[in-house]
Amino acid sequence: KQEVTQIPAALSVPEGENLVLNCSFTDSAIYNLQWFRQDPGKGLTSLLLIQSSQREQTSGRLNASLDKSSGRSTLYIAASQPGDSATYLCAVTSGTYKYIFGTGTRLKVLA
């Protein structure tokens, strides 16, 4: 059974700092991995999607890497801003439609 773990559970950093969020999964036979952002009282917004054949994806100040063999992904946020404060969730798919989510990392960026 696939299990997804995210470390740390919560993180508080000063504005401007670069930071790394971690996601690990127990079954390396994944189809893709996706990072989402969840703001309080709102649904999830997709940030980056990495196919199993890819090593990383970048969007603006965000960079996500995938090491499928070791069951790990990292989300790197450069020059963090207070607007980045949210919960970040990673999810993996082992088929084409069912996603298994981690419990998230709650990020707070202090002005």
Residue ranges binding other proteins (CB under 8 A): 4, 31-32, 34, 41-46, 49, 51, 89, 91, 96-104
The full 3-state SS of 45-110, as one line of letters, equals: EEEEEEECCCCEEEECCEEEEEECCCCEEEEEECCCCHHHCEEEEEEEECCCCCEEECCCEEEEEE
Shortest approach of other proteins to residue 39 CB, angstroms?
Answer: 10
Query: Please, which residue, 69 or 97, has the CB nearer to other proteins?
Result: 97
Shortest approach of other proteins to residue 109 CB, angstroms?
Answer: 20
Query: Please, which residue, 16 or 100, has the CB nearer to other proteins?
Result: 100
- Which amino acid would we find at residue 47? L
